[in-house]
């Protein structure tokens, strides 16, 4: 009799509550449309459930009139057996600027108190100085700190470089590492090589998570290769909210591993229920759905994520230059080189993309955006490559700021007290640190949200029937439901007229 070795269990992080609807339906899914799936998600056997991040927080207060902290507490209550996971932009927290360390610490403490377990901490430039405080804060509250490698490709990015970055992150005391492939650029061979090299260098026990988007169609194969190389956990999303610019389907991962030396041990019957639930929800958000449903392999050349292309298209159209997208797509890699080859992920993707649009419309570097000038001057941190000295000089002249090489947050004075005072002056402020953090991270949106909050959540999803009627009215030039009241003036005399279909 031959002895069969039990397959190695590969953990799965379910993305449907955060990145999946962020990537596929503009982050618009309401908590109300998630709660009925939570029992099944909690019992399916996932390693963790990603459910919180910058875009979900932003969408909650900007579009859904939902308190993001209340959303987090609800998840905590409905999924008592799950590790709740969030994506944290290092020193930027969930906002778009650097915060002073005191604010970073307060954010981590409060989110842990409200139920967060696993913090995936990344910096858009892979500058470890920008994640070290957040990681230290997570360790202080005894939660899981995950250091992140943003995956990108350039002449300067090598397997050895990624190993070095992994080593730097582990030295900060991370509990695990994540290879984050936000644009679906990670092909099978590099996936294998990087995971293998990190394990070889830092030891088998270093826990590696792999996060891939599906846009280019190759990354389920990359997950397979990463698993063969020893990856411990991979990220997927339930099939009914998957693929396109989203992620590989959870069920496909499960089936992919059958018969191999690996298994997910997920509960099929729970997955089926989760799938059915979100298959019902999905059509309600069709007006927000990504136009991309198939694969996009041209990204490999431009390295521009799908979401960024649609942003640039709309910027160009606003300038009456909708026909110049191809020029901009060619310009992006050049701007990226000038900026020292940053990965393209929030906020570097927006900064590089917008500068590329400016270059095409007004001539190369004739006008620098304030953010691009800051990037060139080091105010977002260090890049892997040297930044073009001529453009650095132009940035200095235009902005009146000097280049820096210290950690950007070191230049920020303590700001918690000031933020608290400002927040407490706002109508509807509830006196909590959570509200101060909302104000700190979204100073433009928070004031309106605090006022509107008592009215409760606004679900922006719509029944497909309702959507079809809306669409019809739009096309017919007006609503047809009738009856409609008109005031009709005929031969100088006013009449009250009601019209409806006979």
Helix (H, G, I), strand (E, B) or coil at 176: strand
Cβ-based nearer residue to a second copy, 40 or 100: 40
Smallest separation (angstroms) from a second copy to the CB of 158? 13
Neighbours of 11 (CB within 10 A): 19
Cα distance between residue 269 and residue 82, in whole Å = 18
Cβ-based nearer residue to a second copy, 19 or 296: 296
Q: Measured on CA atoms in the order 319, 325, 331, 332, is the torsion positive or negative?
A: positive
Smallest separation (angstroms) from a second copy to the CB of 149? 18
Smallest separation (angstroms) from a second copy to the CB of 473? 11
Which residue, 357, 387, 355, is CA-closest to 368? 355
Cβ-based nearer residue to a second copy, 148 or 215: 215
Cβ-based nearer residue to a second copy, 219 or 349: 219
Cβ-based nearer residue to a second copy, 260 or 280: 260
Smallest separation (angstroms) from a second copy to the CB of 492? 9
Cβ-based nearer residue to a second copy, 97 or 196: 196
Continuous H helices in 242-388 = 250-256, 268-281, 299-302, 306-318, 325-338, 348-362, 370-377
Q: Which residues contact 297 (CB under 8 A, 6 or more apart)?
A: 216, 217
Cβ-based nearer residue to a second copy, 243 or 391: 243
For strand 48-52 and strand 262-263, is the pairing parallel, antiparallel, or unpaired? unpaired
Cα distance between residue 133 and residue 102, in whole Å = 9
Helix H or strand E segment including 13: strand 11-14
Smallest separation (angstroms) from a second copy to the CB of 216? 6
Smallest separation (angstroms) from a second copy to the CB of 424? 48
Smallest separation (angstroms) from a second copy to the CB of 211? 18
Q: Which residues contact 303 (CB under 8 A, 6 or more apart)?
A: 152, 153, 183, 185, 332, 333, 336, 344
Interface residue list for a second copy (CB under 8 A): 187-190, 193, 216-218, 220-221, 224, 239-240, 242-243, 248-249, 251-252, 254-256, 258-260, 272, 293-298, 300, 468, 472, 475-476, 480, 483-491, 495-502
Cβ-based nearer residue to a second copy, 189 or 280: 189
Cα distance between residue 385 and residue 374, in whole Å = 16
Smallest separation (angstroms) from a second copy to the CB of 486? 5
Smallest separation (angstroms) from a second copy to the CB of 269? 11
Torsion of CA 71, 76, 79, 80, to 10 degrees: -170
Cβ-based nearer residue to a second copy, 410 or 471: 471
Distance set, CA 297 to CA 89, 110, 186, 247, 306 (Å) = 27, 41, 12, 15, 11
């Amino acid at each position: 009799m031959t002895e069969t070795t039990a397959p190695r269990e590969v953990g799965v992080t379910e993305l449907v509550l955060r990145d999946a609807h962020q990537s596929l339906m503009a982050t618009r899914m309401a908590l109300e449309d998630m709660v009925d799936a939570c029992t099944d998600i909690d019992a399916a056997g996932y390693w963790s459930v990603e459910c919180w991040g910058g875009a979900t927080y932003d969408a909650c207060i900007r579009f859904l009139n939902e308190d993001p902290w209340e959303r987090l507490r609800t998840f905590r209550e409905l999924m008592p057996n799950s590790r709740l996971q969030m994506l944290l932009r290092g020193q930027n927290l969930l906002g778009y600027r650097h915060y002073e360390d005191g604010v970073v610490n307060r954010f981590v403490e409060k989110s842990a108190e409200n139920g967060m377990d696993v913090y995936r901490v990344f910096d858009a430039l892979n500058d470890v100085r920008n994640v070290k405080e957040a990681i230290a804060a997570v360790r202080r509250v005894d939660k899981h700190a995950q250091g992140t490698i943003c995956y990108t490709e350039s002449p300067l990015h090598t397997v050895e470089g990624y190993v070095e970055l992994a080593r730097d992150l582990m030295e900060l005391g991370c509990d695990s590492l994540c290879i984050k492939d936000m644009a679906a650029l990670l092909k099978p061979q590099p996936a294998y090589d990087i995971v293998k090299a990190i394990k070889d260098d830092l030891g088998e026990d270093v826990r590696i998570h792999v996060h891939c988007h599906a846009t280019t169609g190759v990354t389920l194969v990359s997950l397979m290769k990463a698993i063969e190389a020893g990856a411990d956990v991979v990220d997927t999303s339930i099939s009914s909210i998957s693929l396109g610019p989203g992620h590989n389907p959870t069920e496909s991962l499960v089936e992919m591993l059958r018969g191999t030396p690996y298994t997910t041990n997920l509960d099929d019957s729970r997955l089926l229920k989760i799938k059915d639930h979100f298959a019902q929800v999905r059509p309600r958000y069709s007006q927000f759905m990504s136009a991309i449903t198939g694969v996009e392999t041209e990204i490999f050349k431009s390295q521009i994520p799908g979401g960024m292309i649609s942003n640039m298209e709309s910027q160009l159209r606003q300038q009456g230059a909708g026909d110049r997208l191809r020029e901009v797509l060619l310009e992006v890699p050049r701007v990226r080189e000038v900026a020292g080859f940053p990965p393209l992920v929030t906020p570097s993707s927006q900064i590089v993309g917008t500068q590329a649009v400016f270059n095409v419309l007004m001539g190369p570097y004739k006008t620098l955006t304030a953010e691009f000038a800051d990037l060139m001057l080091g105010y977002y941190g260090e890049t892997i490559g040297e930044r073009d000295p001529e453009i650095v000089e132009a940035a200095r002249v235009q902005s009146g700021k000097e280049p820096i090489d210290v950690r950007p947050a070191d230049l920020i004075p303590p700001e918690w007290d000031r933020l608290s005072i400002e927040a407490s002056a706002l109508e509807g402020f509830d006196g909590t640190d959570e509200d101060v953090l909302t104000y700190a991270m979204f100073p433009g949106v928070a004031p309106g949200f605090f006022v509107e909050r008592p009215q409760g959540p606004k679900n922006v999803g719509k029944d497909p029937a309702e959507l079809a009627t809306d669409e019809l009215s739009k096309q017919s030039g007006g609503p047809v439901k009738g009856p409609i009241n008109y005031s009709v003036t005929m031969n100088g005399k006013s009449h009250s007229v009601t019209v409806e279909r006979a």
